[in-house]
Amino acid sequence: MNRLLGSFGVLSALVGLLVLGGSVPARGEDGVTDKEVVLGAGLDLTGAVANWGVNIKGGMEAVFNRVNEAGGVHGRKIRLIAYDHVYQPPKAVTNAKRLVERDKVFAMMGHLGTPTTKAVKDYLEEKQVPNIFPATLASLWTTSGKWHIGDLATYVDQTWLMIDYLVKDRKIRKIASFYQDDEYGLDGHLGGKARLKHHDLTYVAEVDYKRADIDFSSQAAKLKESGAQAVILQAVYREPPRLAEQCHAIGYHPLFIGPSPIVLDKTIELGGKHVEGVIGVEVYPLPTEPGPFLDLYRADMKKYFPNLALDTTNLYGYQKAALFVEALQRNGRNLTRDSLLKSIESIKDWDPGWGLKYSYGGDSRRGMSRSARLVVVKDGKWTKLSDWMELQEGGRK
Amino acid sequence: MVEILTSQVVSGLATGCVYALIALGFVLIFKATDVVNFAQGEFVMVSGFISYTLLVWFGLPYWIVLFATIALSGLMGVGLERLVVRPIMDAPIFSIVIATIGASTVLRSFAGIIYGYDVLPLPTIFSKDPIHLGVLSFTAMDAGVIGFSLAIMLALYLFFKLTKTGMAMRATAQSQTAARLMGVSVTRIFSLTWAISAAVGGVAGVLIAPIIYLDPNLGFIGVKAFAGAILGGFGSIPGAIVGGMLLGVLENLSGYFFNAGIKQVSTYILLILVLVVRPSGLFGAAPVRKV
C-alpha cells in the first residue's frame, strides 16, 4: 500500500513538472511560424448582422487565398480562423479567449461589431494581442492606445459630415436621431449632438431601439410627432427599411440619412420602394467602380467566392486584408506583434489602386480617416451623390 | 395625436393576433396532452420559409401558397408528433418537453443550412400603405392580419363546438380514460391536435413573416406568445387569444409612451403583475384542491 502511494506520488510530481514545463512561454510570438501566420476573427455569421459578417469573412479570405497561392508573404501563408458571436458580446468574449488561448492567433483581424469588440477590448490588451482593423468604425478605437488600430473614418466623423450636409446643403434644421442603444449607435448619436450644438441646434427627437429589435412603430410615431424633416439613422441594415416602411405607413416621409453600415444591397432588398432616396455615407468606393484595385477585387471574388454578390460588405473585408498584406510586406521576415504595428504605422500616402490613400503615422490610429462621400438609393441602387470629401477631425464630447 | 395613437393600437392588435395564434398552438397541445411544445415558435418560422419557397422559388400565386403552407405545416406537426413525441410517450412530461426544445434547435439549424442565416423579405398581397377612416389610421396589412386571424379563430371555435371530432378532442382534453371508454381513438386525437397546432402556427408564420422579415431566428417570437398564453391563463383557449392580443397592444403603447427599453420588458412586467394578483392568469381556472 505504501509502495503504491509512493509511486503515485512520484507520478504526480512528474506530471506536475511536465505541465509546468509545458506552460513556460515559448520564445517567439504566438501564431507565427516559419510557414504561416495565424489570424483570428470574431464575426457575426448567423445573427442580426450576419450579412456583414459572412461577407467580411469572404472578402478577407479572397485576398489571403490569392496571396497564399502565390507563396505567401515572405514565405509565410496567412490562415484565418473565424468564430461566430451572433452579434452578442458575451459570446464574443468566449470566442476571443478561444482564439487567443487555444488557437494561439497572432492578431485579431476585422473583429465585427462595436459592442462585441468593446467586450473583448480589455482582454486583448491584457494578452497583448493586436486588434487590427476591427470591423467597427467607432471612434473608441482611435483613442485606445497601441494595441488597436483602425482603417477608415469613424461614425462620429461620418455623422458630422451628415449634419453639415443637412444644415448647409439642404437647409434642414429639424433633425432627429434614430439610434441603436449601445456603443455603436451612441457613438454617432452623441458625436452628432456635439456637431449640432456648433450649428446652434439640437435634435428635435432622440429615439432609440435595442439591438436586433424588429418593430419600430412607436419610434415612427414619435418621429412623426416631432416634425423632423430629416432622421439620422445610427443603425445597420434591418432597421432602416423597417423604420421607413412604418413611417410611410403613418403618412410620414422624412429624409433618411445614415452612416456606412447601412450602405449595402441588403438594405435595398429589404426596403424596396420605401428606401428610395435614403442617403448614406461611404468611406471607400463602390464595388462597381473602375480601377486596378477594384478590378483585382472583382477577379478575386469571382474566383474564390462566386456565390457572394459583389457588395460594399465584402469589399470592406477585402480592403482590410489588402492593407494587412501591405503591412506584412513592409515588415519583412522578422515578424512580431510590435513589428507588425510599427509596419502598419509606417504606411503613408499608400494608394492600393483606387485613387484614395491610406496614411498612418503618429497618433493616427486609422488609415483612411479623411475620406468620405455621400451616396443615395436611386432606382434601387446605391449611387454617387457627392464627390470625395476631406472630413474634419471629430471626436465625442 | 389621436390618429397616431389609434394606428399604434391597431398595429398592436395585428401583432397581437399573431401572438394569439401562436399562444393558441401552445394551449391546444397542452390541453390535450399536458405537453408544452417549445418547438411552436419554430413551427411559425418553418411555415414562413415554406411560404417563401412556394412564393419565390416556385412562383405560385399568393392564395394557393397560403393554404398550401397551412396544410404542409399541419403535416409537419403530425411528423413531429410521430417522430419525437410518440416514441417517448411514456416518459415523464419534462423529458418530452426537453425533446421539443431539441426539435426546435434542429428545425432552426435545418432552416439555416437550407436558406442561410441572412434575413429575407417575404412578399405579401396586403399593402402597407395607410388607410384613414375618420380618426382611425391603419394599413391594409393590419386589417388583413386581424381579419384572417379572427376568421381562423372562429373556424376553430365552430370546429370544437359543432363537429364530432372537435367534441372528441375536448373529451380527450378533459379525461383520456373516459374518452377512450367512449370509443375515441386517443392516439389519433393527439396527432390531430399537433396537426392543428402546427397549422395554426403556420397561419401565424404566413401573416407575420412579411411584417418582420424572415430568418431562422424568427422562432423566438414563440417566447413572447408563450408569455401571452400564461397571461391569459395557460390552458384556457380564450385566455390565450386575449393574452396574446393584450400583449401586442401593450408593447406598442409602452414603446410609444416610454422608450424601446421599457417596450422590451413590458411583456414581462405585465406578466408578473397579473400573476401576482391572479396566479392562474386572467382566464385560468384556479386549481381545485381535493381534500
Distance of alpha carbon B214 from alpha carbon B220, whole angstroms: 12
Q: Which of B3, B256, B264 sits opposite A210 (nearest CB)?
A: B264
Distance of alpha carbon B82 from alpha carbon B90, whole angstroms: 14
Here the cell at position A153 is 473614418
Q: Closest by alpha carbon to A94, among A56, A140, A40, A144? A: A40
The mean per-residue pLDDT over the stretch B108-115 comes to: 93
Question: What percent of chain A is modeled with pLDDT above 90?
Answer: 76
> What does DSSP assign to residue A169?
I
Instruction: Let me know if residue B31 belongs to a domain.
Output: yes
Q: Judge: B118–A217 Cβ closer than 8 Å, yes or no.
A: no
Tell whether the model's pLDDT for residue A16 goes beyond 70. no
Mean pLDDT over the full length of chain A: 90
The mean per-residue pLDDT over the stretch B181-194 comes to: 89
Distance of alpha carbon A223 from alpha carbon A175, whole angstroms: 10
Check if the beta carbon of residue B29 is closer than 8 Å to that of residue B163: no
Check if the beta carbon of residue A188 is closer than 8 Å to that of residue A259: yes
B117–chain A nearest CA distance, Å? 5
Here the cell at position B117 is 442565416
Say which residues have a Cβ less than 8 Å from residue A13's Cβ, sequence separation at least 6: none
Q: In this predicted model, what pLDDT tens digit does every residue of B131-156 receive, in sequence order?
A: 777 777 778 888 888 998 999 999 99
Q: Name which residue leads in pLDDT, A57 or B276.
A: A57
Check if the beta carbon of residue B178 is closer than 8 Å to that of residue B171: yes
Q: Judge: A217–B139 Cβ closer than 8 Å, yes or no.
A: no
Q: In this predicted model, what pLDDT tens digit does every residue of A304-324 receive, in sequence order?
A: 999 999 999 999 999 999 999
- Looking at A14-23, B97-106, B110-119, B221-230, which range is the least confident one? A14-23
A→B interface, C-beta within 8 Å: 45-47, 50-51, 54, 181, 207-210, 213-215, 217-219, 221-222, 224-225, 238, 242, 245, 248-251, 266, 269-270, 272
Q: Closest by alpha carbon to B149, among B273, B21, B287, B4? A: B21
Cα nearest neighbour of A238 on chain B: B119
**What is the bridge-based pairing of β-strands A366-368 and A255-258?**
unpaired
Here the cell at position B193 is 391536435
Mapped onto helix, strand or coil, the DSSP state of residue B89 is coil
Check if the beta carbon of residue A282 is closer than 8 Å to that of residue A165: no
Check if the beta carbon of residue B240 is closer than 8 Å to that of residue B22: no
Q: Judge: A270–B119 Cβ closer than 8 Å, yes or no.
A: yes
Q: Judge whether B124 is closer than 8 Å to chain A, CB to CB.
A: no
Confidence (pLDDT) at A393: 61
Tell whether the model's pLDDT for residue A27 goes beyond 60. no
B246–chain A nearest CA distance, Å? 16
Cα nearest neighbour of B218 on chain A: A214
CA dihedral B131, B221, A57, A112 (to 10 degrees): 90
Confidence (pLDDT) at A22: 45
Check if the beta carbon of residue A295 is closer than 8 Å to that of residue A66: no
> Which residues are bridge partners to B120 per DSSP?
B214
Q: Judge: A266–B119 Cβ closer than 8 Å, yes or no.
A: yes
Tell whether the model's pLDDT for residue A181 goes beyond 80. yes
CA A131 to chain CA centroid, nearest Å: 11
Distance of alpha carbon A232 from alpha carbon A277, whole angstroms: 13
From residue B20, give the alpha-carbon distance in Å to each of A218, A339, B228. 21, 61, 7
Check if the beta carbon of residue A185 is closer than 8 Å to that of residue A235: yes
- Looking at A61-75, A203-217, A278-292, B267-281, which range is the least confident one? B267-281
ipTM at complex level: 0.85
Cα nearest neighbour of A46 on chain B: B117
Q: Closest by alpha carbon to A319, among A62, A36, A85, A50? A: A62
Question: What percent of chain A is modeled with pLDDT above 70?
Answer: 91
Chain B residues with CB inside 8 Å of A51's CB? Answer: 118-119
Tell whether the model's pLDDT for residue B286 goes beyond 60. yes
Query: Which residue stretches of chain A are H helix?
Result: 2-22, 50-69, 89-97, 114-127, 155-164, 183-198, 217-226, 239-249, 265-271, 292-304, 312-331, 337-345
The mean per-residue pLDDT over the stretch A188-200 comes to: 94
Tell whether the model's pLDDT for residue B255 goes beyond 90. no
Residue B249: CATH number of its domain: 1.10.3470
B282–chain A nearest CA distance, Å? 26
- Looking at A47-51, A367-371, B32-36, B253-257, which range is the least confident one? A367-371
**What is the bridge-based pairing of β-strands A381-384 and A371-378?**
antiparallel
From residue A80, give the alpha-carbon distance in Å to each of A44, A68, A99, A109, A233. 15, 12, 11, 8, 33
- Identity of the highest mean pLDDT range in A89-93, B94-98, B227-231, B275-279: A89-93
Q: Which of A218, A238, A272 sits opposite B263 (nearest CB)?
A: A218
Chain A residues with CB inside 8 Å of B119's CB? Answer: 50-51, 238, 266, 270
CB-count burial class (<10 Å; 0-12, 13-18, 19+) for A18: exposed
Instruction: Let me know if residue B290 belongs to a domain.
Output: no
Mapped onto helix, strand or coil, the DSSP state of residue A136 is coil
A277–chain B nearest CA distance, Å? 18
Q: Judge: B1–A225 Cβ closer than 8 Å, yes or no.
A: yes
Distance of alpha carbon B44 from alpha carbon B209, whole angstroms: 9
CA dihedral B16, B21, B25, B30 (to 10 degrees): 50
Number of H helices and E strands in chain A, helices first, is: 12, 14
Instruction: Let me know if residue B287 belongs to a domain.
Output: no
Here the cell at position A85 is 458571436
Q: Closest by alpha carbon to B257, among B268, B266, B248? A: B266
The mean per-residue pLDDT over the stretch B79-99 comes to: 90
Question: What percent of chain B is modeled with pLDDT above 70?
Answer: 98
| Total number of domains constituting chain B | 1
Instruction: Let me know if residue B285 belongs to a domain.
Output: no
| Confidence label for A396 from pLDDT (cuts 50, 70 and 90) | very low
Q: What domains are there in chain A, each with its CATH number?
A: 36-153+287-364 (3.40.50.2300), 156-282+374-390 (3.40.50.2300)
Sign of CA dihedral B242, B243, B244, B245: positive
B154–chain A nearest CA distance, Å? 28
Q: Judge whether B269 is closer than 8 Å to chain A, CB to CB.
A: no
- Looking at A299-313, B55-69, B260-274, which range is the least confident one? B260-274
Confidence (pLDDT) at B290: 58
| Confidence label for B281 from pLDDT (cuts 50, 70 and 90) | confident
| Confidence label for A19 from pLDDT (cuts 50, 70 and 90) | low
Q: Which of B11, B212, B261 sits opposite A210 (nearest CB)?
A: B261
Mapped onto helix, strand or coil, the DSSP state of residue A206 is strand
Q: In this predicted model, what pLDDT tens digit does every residue of A207-255 receive, in sequence order?
A: 999 988 888 988 999 999 999 999 999 999 999 999 999 899 888 999 9
Q: What are phi and psi of A349, to 5 degrees?
A: 50, 45
Chain B residues with CB inside 8 Å of A240's CB? Answer: none
Say which residues have a Cβ less than 8 Å from residue A16's Cβ, sequence separation at least 6: none
The mean per-residue pLDDT over the stretch B200-208 comes to: 90
| Confidence label for B121 from pLDDT (cuts 50, 70 and 90) | confident
Q: Judge: B251–A208 Cβ closer than 8 Å, yes or no.
A: no
Q: What are phi and psi of A368, to 5 degrees?
A: -115, 65
The mean per-residue pLDDT over the stretch A159-171 comes to: 94
Instruction: Let me know if residue B132 belongs to a domain.
Output: yes
| Domain extent at residue B79 | 2-277
**CB crowding A230-253: b at 16 or more within 10 Å, else e:** bbbbbbbbbbbbbbbbbbbbbebe
Distance of alpha carbon A79 from alpha carbon A77, whole angstroms: 7
Q: In this predicted model, what pLDDT tens digit does every residue of A337-374 receive, in sequence order?
A: 999 999 999 999 999 999 888 988 767 788 887 789 99
Instruction: Let me know if residue B289 belongs to a domain.
Output: no
Confidence (pLDDT) at B176: 82
Q: Which of B112, B255, B264 sits opposite A46 (nearest CB)?
A: B112
Tell whether the model's pLDDT for residue A21 goes beyond 60. no
Tell whether the model's pLDDT for residue A29 goes beyond 90. no
| Confidence label for A13 from pLDDT (cuts 50, 70 and 90) | low
Q: Closest by alpha carbon to A31, among A101, A88, A90? A: A101
| Confidence label for A43 from pLDDT (cuts 50, 70 and 90) | very high
**CB crowding B239-249: b at 16 or more within 10 Å, else e:** bbbbbbbbbbb
Q: In this predicted model, what pLDDT tens digit does every residue of A64-104 receive, in sequence order?
A: 999 999 999 999 999 999 999 999 999 999 999 999 999 99
The mean per-residue pLDDT over the stretch A32-47 comes to: 94
Instruction: Let me know if residue B154 belongs to a domain.
Output: yes
Instruction: Let me know if residue B52 belongs to a domain.
Output: yes
From residue A183, give the alpha-carbon distance in Å to each of A139, A179, B201. 10, 10, 36
**CB crowding A200-222: b at 16 or more within 10 Å, else e:** ebebbbbbbbebbbbbbbbbbbb
The mean per-residue pLDDT over the stretch B36-53 comes to: 93
Confidence (pLDDT) at A397: 29
Chain B residues with CB inside 8 Å of A218's CB? Answer: 8, 252-256, 260, 263
Here the cell at position A297 is 477585387
The mean per-residue pLDDT over the stretch A332-339 comes to: 93
Distance of alpha carbon B180 from alpha carbon B192, whole angstroms: 16
Here the cell at position B67 is 393554404
| Confidence label for A24 from pLDDT (cuts 50, 70 and 90) | very low
> Which residues are bridge partners to A230 per DSSP?
A175, A255
- Looking at A54-58, B203-207, B259-263, which range is the least confident one? B259-263
Q: Judge whether B118 is closer than 8 Å to chain A, CB to CB.
A: yes
Q: Judge whether B117 is closer than 8 Å to chain A, CB to CB.
A: yes
Tell whether the model's pLDDT for residue A269 goes beyond 60. yes
Distance of alpha carbon A330 from alpha carbon A72, whole angstroms: 14
Here the cell at position A93 is 468574449
- Max Cα-Cα span within chain A: 92
Distance of alpha carbon A327 from alpha carbon A59, whole angstroms: 17
Strand residues in B108-246 grouped as ranges (E) = 130-133, 136-139
> Which residues are bridge partners to A148 per DSSP?
A131
B19–chain A nearest CA distance, Å? 14
Tell whether the model's pLDDT for residue A257 goes beyond 70. yes
A52–chain B nearest CA distance, Å? 10
pTM equals 0.86
Tell whether the model's pLDDT for residue A270 goes beyond 80. yes
| Confidence label for A7 from pLDDT (cuts 50, 70 and 90) | low
